[in-house]
A and B are shown apart, each in its own frame.
Chain A
Amino acid sequence: MKTKKLVIDANRCKGCLTCEIMCSFFHDQVFSTDRARIHILKDDEAGVDAPIVCRQCSKPACLTVCPEKVISKDSVTGIVSVDEIICSGCGECVEACSYGAMALHPDTGVAIKCDVCGGNPQCVEHCPHGAIFFAEPAKINTIKREGLRREIVERVLQGRGERR
């Protein structure tokens, strides 16, 4: 089995937060942006919506710093996961992650992160705007290029003053 990763095309994100509430619904059976493991960084004035989610790093800082060794990386799928039963909620991992992808659960206090919903990520399943994909490394490149291609086409057309 190849390692699949979540890939985000931020240009397509419209900021609707569907990913966040579907994430919390899968994990906690509640629609709640505060309990989501994916997060859209928003800036209304600047008109920016930037989704952030765990990158399942090859050398995860969260795993390295965890004093209790409750974070592990699956050697087959590459998914980094927290043993939420033993985690004490010290928050070291939250500090260590440069992507802001780690959080402490508001109710249980333990570390939570994206676990790709066991292989069927709900953010991908429910994103209405096609802004997030779950793909094998070989396909990631195609998705990135496709996003870039659309962006370039738009710029070129705008430069020419053509209607889209």
Chain B
Amino acid sequence: MNRGDILRINLSDGTVSSESIGKELMLNFIGGRGINARILYYETGPGLDPLSPEAPLVFGVGPLTGTASPASGRWVITAKSPMTGIFGEAHAGGYWGAELRFAGHEHLIITGKASQPVYLLIEDEKVQIRDAGYLRGKNVWETQKLIREELGDSRIQVACIGPGGENLVKWACVINGLTHSAGRCGMGAVMGSKNLKAIAVRGHGGVKVAKPVEFMNAVKETKRIIREHPNYKNFSKYGTMLIANSLYDNGRLTFKNIQTTRQEGYNERLRAENFIVHTVKQKACFGCPCGCGHRYVVKEGPFAGIAGDGTELTTFMNLVGVGIEDWGAMFKATELCNLYGLDTASAGVVLQGAFECYQRGLLTQKDTDGLALEWGNVDVVLELLRKTAYREGFGNVLAESTTGAAKKIGKGADRYFFHIKGLDMLLVMHSAFIGSALCYATSTRGADHLRGLPTTEFYVFNEPLIKKRFGHLDFKALTSKYGYKDKAPITVWHQHFSVLFDSLPMCTFNGEWMLAQGIDLDNMADLLTTATGIDYSPETLMKAAERIYNLEHMFNVREGIRRKDDTVPWRYFEEPCPDGPDKGRLIDKEAWEKLKDEYYDERGWDRETGIPSKKKLVELGLNDLVKDLKSL
């Protein structure tokens, strides 16, 4: 296989160099998320300022990117997060990743800081640092359009930041296409701190696989499994929004900053069926058999005439909680986030935090530039997004994300900005779904629903497959949302499984969420082995995943993250679930701490501190990290 190289670009002095990905790296860290994490760990030390020129910003794709392997259009950014101060990572789909691979590269390590706004043009082996003066202040869609026009090729893929990233908003993201956002952890601010407006990529080459016939057999088998999944048709039609239906029905979706799980008129207005009324066309990312994206046009109401791609589940869940009840307004809020280059997920959480502070009198109109932060006030939501992107007035407070905003507001506001390790969390009810709560609490980039939710807790599961995989565990316990039993091993397994999807790469939606009930480690091993010519087995893959997970965790340990940080917000322990199917439930503190003990035991981490044991690191071949244990 022709693997891409690692391209190193220093924006301070304009130097560019390239190195190949060695076999050791391929075997032990696979690609994508894995190799990115390895690069970040080795090229940084504790206490680094994430927005300093020295801080590396790492882009990556994987061995299957650009090939016929299903849903392989993912790309990942890794950097120390300015939002959380720990391991930061964001993923996106679209076409940028495949184009980077066609250009012959798999990873970009960007360091330094340009003296003027610049953008990178990577065309095969040629790398140019170009003037982006004319792009300063332009929104994401304009930036992409202008670069394509300047260079005269609509096949150029652009990943860029908007005003949000330029103004170092802590929840600014990097976007490719209209909406393919590498959203989480404030990667847009890191890019902005380097004066880097965009990375334009065009690849005239291609990707060859080691064993073409066998590879295509593995691709066909994987695609068959995807197509035969009971939810395939609906996932394809409704996209991620399908999940919102079941979340609402099961009392998991929350409103008003987790104060309730019920919303009047939800079923009439906000279900996925109401969403797709606005769809005029379906969209797919590179090589995706599912194609869950939607092109919408709003035909009536105050937002009539706006058109774009979206909206996705996370955006919806967090914005619906602020009280947006109309699809036109939902699309408008999404559009603004995309234009300004702000993470839609963070938007909802930061806004809900501020709205609850207003509800409780911690904020008044004097603090908010005269805006009334009343639940459901769409105009205020839209105005706050704009103010945040330009750090104007109260927007400058919100731009600091959950922890920073709470600090600026003071008066105990930190109780109402929900985050884990500084990353704002998808506002769902956790009084049930204990395994999912554990996954959130222990995820390596902070609160996270995309990195190993135990799918056995959810409503569709493949009983024979679960029994085959987890025969040694209690099936009833695994599929019970309220139980604590056996949730530690199942969460660890899923966290590793999700590392693999992120490293191949394969989309989480096609992969972990839908196909943890279908696709197996054997399929992954087949795809990788036939593509790369290197032997991967289910065992070596799981080992690699554990290695990657421990490396990411060690990054956080180095920054001072300990057991106390592995938790979910107080509300789940102290305020019984107010309504819905799980009414009256709480997370039991004692059982929760016991579950965490089991989790650390399962991982070979110290129960008291959550620090990996020397034995575990050596077992995973992370011998280099042992010295870092000593300096803690």
A residues with CB within 8 A of B? 11, 14-18, 21-22, 24-25, 28-35, 41-45, 47, 49, 106, 126, 128-129, 158, 161, 163-164
Contacts and interface: CB of A to CB of B under 8 A. Distances in A.
30 contacts: A14-B288, A14-B291, A14-B293, A16-B289, A17-B95, A18-B68, A18-B289, A21-B67, A21-B287, A25-B68, A25-B212, A28-B206, A29-B212, A30-B206, A30-B208, A31-B66, A32-B205, A32-B206, A33-B155, A34-B102, A34-B203, A44-B177, A44-B178, A45-B178, A47-B307, A128-B223, A128-B289, A128-B291, A163-B273, A164-B277
Contacts of B68: 18, 21-22, 25, 31, 126
What 3 A-B pairs come out closest when comparing CB atoms? A32-B206, A14-B284, A30-B206
Contacts of A17: 95, 98, 286-287
B288 A128 contact: yes
**Most central of B144, B145, B207 by chain A CB within 10 Å:** B207
A104 to B, nearest CB: 12
Given A24-B206, A43-B154, 18 more contacts: A14-B288, A15-B283, A16-B286, A17-B98, A18-B289, A25-B212, A28-B206, A30-B207, A31-B67, A32-B205, A34-B205, A44-B178, A45-B145, A47-B281, A47-B307, A128-B289, A128-B291, A164-B277
Nearest to B141: A45
Interface in B262-298: 273-274, 276-277, 280-291, 293, 295
A54 B141 CA distance: 32
A135 to B, nearest CB: 22
A35 B286 contact: no
Contacts of A11: 281
A90 B601 CA distance: 69
B448 interface: no
A14 B283 contact: yes
Contacts of A49: 281, 283
Nearest to B220: A126
Contact of B204 (A42, A106, A161): A106
Interface in B201-220: 203-209, 212, 216
Contacts of B290: 128
A11 B295 CA distance: 12
B309 interface: yes
**Most central of B177, B206, B280 by chain A CB within 10 Å:** B206
**Most central of B67, B209, B274, B288 by chain A CB within 10 Å:** B288
**Most central of A22, A30, A129 by chain B CB within 10 Å:** A30
A163 B308 CA distance: 21
Nearest to A24: B206
Given A31-B68, A129-B291, A16 B285 contact: yes
Contacts of B67: 21, 31
A32 B68 CA distance: 10
Contacts of B307: 47
Nearest to B293: A14
B287 A18 contact: yes
A33 B291 contact: no
Given A11-B281, A47-B309, A16 B287 contact: yes
A111 to B, nearest CB: 18
A20 B501 CA distance: 24
Contacts of A126: 68
A42 B154 contact: yes
A31 B73 CA distance: 13
Interface in B130-164: 141, 144-145, 154-155
Interface in B382-396: none
Contacts of A158: 277, 299
Nearest to B286: A17
Contacts of A22: 68
A109 to B, nearest CB: 13
A47 B308 CA distance: 7
A122 B293 CA distance: 24
Contacts of B102: 32-34
A32 B207 contact: yes
B584 to A, nearest CB: 34
Contacts of A106: 204
A14 B144 CA distance: 20
B459 to A, nearest CB: 22
B460 to A, nearest CB: 21
B284 A15 contact: yes
A41 B287 CA distance: 16
Nearest to B70: A128
Interface in B62-104: 66-68, 95, 98, 102
B363 to A, nearest CB: 38
A29 B307 CA distance: 39
Contact of A163 (B212, B277, B280, B295): B277
Contact of B284 (A16, A24, A28, A44): A16
A28 B102 CA distance: 14
A156 to B, nearest CB: 13
Contacts of B177: 44
B595 to A, nearest CB: 40
Contacts of A30: 206-208
Nearest to A126: B68
Contacts of B66: 21, 31
A31 B67 CA distance: 6
Nearest to A129: B291
A43 B289 CA distance: 20
Contacts of B282: 14, 129
Nearest to B279: A164
Nearest to A35: B206
Given A14-B293, A45-B178, A34 B206 contact: yes
Contact of A31 (B154, B206, B277, B283): B206
B283 A29 contact: no
A16 B290 CA distance: 10
A33 B67 CA distance: 11
A30 B205 CA distance: 9
Interface string B41-72: 00000000000000000000000001110000
Contact of B208 (A14, A29, A45): A29
B344 to A, nearest CB: 18
Contacts of A24: 206
Contacts of B95: 17
B288 A16 contact: yes
